Amino acid sequence: MYLRSLHLKHFRNYQAQSIEFTAAKTILIGNNAQGKSNLLEAVELLSSLKSHRTSRDRDLILDGELFSQVGGQLEKDTGSIELAMTLRQNGRRTVALNSISLRRQLDFLGTLNMVQFSSLDLDLVRGGPDQRRQWLDALLIQLEPIYAYVLQQYNQVLRQRNALLKAIQKSAAHPPHSSSSELALWDAQLAIAGSRVIRRRARVLDRLVPFARSWHQTISGSTEVLEIRYASNVTADEDTPEALQQAFLEKIQQRSLPEHYQGTTLVGPHRDEVDFTINQTPARQYGSQGQQRTLVLALKLAELKLIEDVIGEPPLLLLDDVLAELDLNRQNQLLDAIQDRFQTLITSTHLGSFDAQWINSAQILEVKAGTLLEQESF
């Protein structure tokens, strides 16, 4: 797929800006805080309806304005699609495809597919488990948009169950009332919704592993064996929804006392982990920072390939401030992998930090205080 243009109005530090993407690679160059990442953030919003930088729409609106608009023209194998989104200072956002406004935001997901690779991702292996869960969830939503709904349901059950546990904890001094049967009800809901999340997450990792493994061997030039496993705190011997739900309920039973004292839900996919191991050693202990970066790069390339396989056409690649952090060898591996097949948007503070091959035939835009200047190609 190819994003032909992007239109911003009152978005972040952009008053009104239209961008035509004229090459497979676009390099956005400029000093810090000029608005480079804001452009990628706009593409992220069109793809996922989310920004990894904020969860509040008002942060996305230019100071002093009431609303903001983000739009784009996307070319897909199936035809051309116009994406549009309006964010408001007060009130709900609205989304439209080909000028038809959608009643359900979920229907907007899965239209524009992309893989994001920012300097933050370099901590994917070392960082906390929540980072890995978020990474996995974002990938799943692109491949199976209904997962956004599955996850939202789980989070809502979790919030309700936590509220009930807190309420029970508070009323502990009073004689027990019907709360235990009420809790059992939420246990059942948690097990149903949670099992769906766990099974989908485990399944997507299984599909990603072969790609990640082969990329990892290519980039590291070694025969080390990469394993990726979804490490859930709920496991069942049999791979059926019923068996997992049963195991889930048993685990809740086991942990009921600590849950009671802590007043929060201790069992479920909100506490799961993704394990990376290389030659049977946990990757976070195993490697140098460079080796961990190799792993992250392999994961990102695997994401590109998996999305391409499932969707049937290549997704966009957004490289936010990350290229300069990779050494020349890894930069070249990445370049070889994407060639001109994946439309790539790259931000950087200066052109000198990467290989001349990247600059060849790329469209170069200078970003300065919320405006764009086209530069001559090299």
Partner 1 sequence: MALVEAKLQVGYCSVCGHLSAEPVCDICRAPNRDSKTICIVADSRDVIALEKTREYRGKYHVLGGLISPIDGIGPEQLSIQQLVRRVSQQKVEEAILAISPSVEGETTTLYVGHLLKPFTRVTRIAFGLPMGGDLEYADEVTLARALEGRRDLE
The residues that touch partner 1, with contacts defined as CB under 8 A, are 104, 106-107, 145-146, 149, 153, 156-157, 159-161, 163-164, 167, 177-179, 182, 185-186, 188-189, 193
Q: Is 33 annotated as a binding residue?
A: yes
Query: Looking at beta carbons only, is 164 or 324 nearer to partner 1?
Result: 164
What is the chain's alpha carbon radius of gyration, rounded to the nearest angstrom?
23
Q: Is 90 annotated as a binding residue?
A: no
Long-range contacts from 231-240, C-beta under 8 angstroms, 24+ separation = 231/272, 231/273, 231/274, 231/275, 232/198, 232/201, 232/202, 232/269, 232/272, 233/267, 233/268, 233/271, 233/272, 234/194, 234/195, 234/198, 234/267, 234/268, 234/269, 239/199
Judge contact between 268 and 245, C-beta under 8 A: no
Instruction: Give dist(CA 223, CA 208) in Å, integer.
Output: 18
In the complex, the smallest distance separating the C-beta of residue 179 from partner 1, rounded to whole angstroms, is 7
Instruction: Give dist(CA 107, CA 361) in Å, integer.
Output: 36
Q: Is 279 annotated as a binding residue?
A: no
- Structure tokens of 286? 């195993």
In the complex, the smallest distance separating the C-beta of residue 69 from partner 1, rounded to whole angstroms, is 24
- Structure tokens of 202? 């485990």
Q: Is 256 annotated as a binding residue?
A: no
Q: Is 167 annotated as a binding residue?
A: no
End-to-end CA distance of the chain: 25
Q: Is 35 annotated as a binding residue?
A: yes
Query: Looking at beta carbons only, is 189 or 332 nearer to partner 1?
Result: 189
Query: Looking at beta carbons only, is 102 or 231 nearer to partner 1?
Result: 102
Judge contact between 62 and 68, C-beta under 8 A: yes
Instruction: Give dist(CA 341, CA 334) in Å, integer.
Output: 12
Alpha helices by DSSP H, listed for the chain, are 36-48, 129-143, 146-170, 179-220, 241-254, 256-262, 283-286, 289-311, 328-338, 356-359
Instruction: Give dist(CA 232, CA 192) in Å, integer.
Output: 15
In the complex, the smallest distance separating the C-beta of residue 164 from partner 1, rounded to whole angstroms, is 4
Query: Looking at beta carbons only, is 120 or 188 nearer to partner 1?
Result: 188
Query: Looking at beta carbons only, is 129 or 145 nearer to partner 1?
Result: 145
Q: Which of 62, 139, 59 is nearest to 306 (CA)?
A: 139
Query: Looking at beta carbons only, is 62 or 157 nearer to partner 1?
Result: 157
Q: Which of 261, 274, 337 is nearest to 304 (CA)?
A: 337
In the complex, the smallest distance separating the C-beta of residue 76 from partner 1, rounded to whole angstroms, is 17
Q: Is 30 annotated as a binding residue?
A: yes
In the complex, the smallest distance separating the C-beta of residue 144 from partner 1, rounded to whole angstroms, is 9
Residues 6+ apart with CB under 8 A from 302: 208, 211, 212, 215
In the complex, the smallest distance separating the C-beta of residue 136 from partner 1, rounded to whole angstroms, is 20
Query: Looking at beta carbons only, is 127 or 145 nearer to partner 1?
Result: 145
Query: Looking at beta carbons only, is 163 or 373 nearer to partner 1?
Result: 163
In the complex, the smallest distance separating the C-beta of residue 49 from partner 1, rounded to whole angstroms, is 15
In the complex, the smallest distance separating the C-beta of residue 143 from partner 1, rounded to whole angstroms, is 13
Q: Which residues are annotated as a binding site for ATP?
A: 30-37
Q: Which residues are annotated as a binding site?
A: 30-37
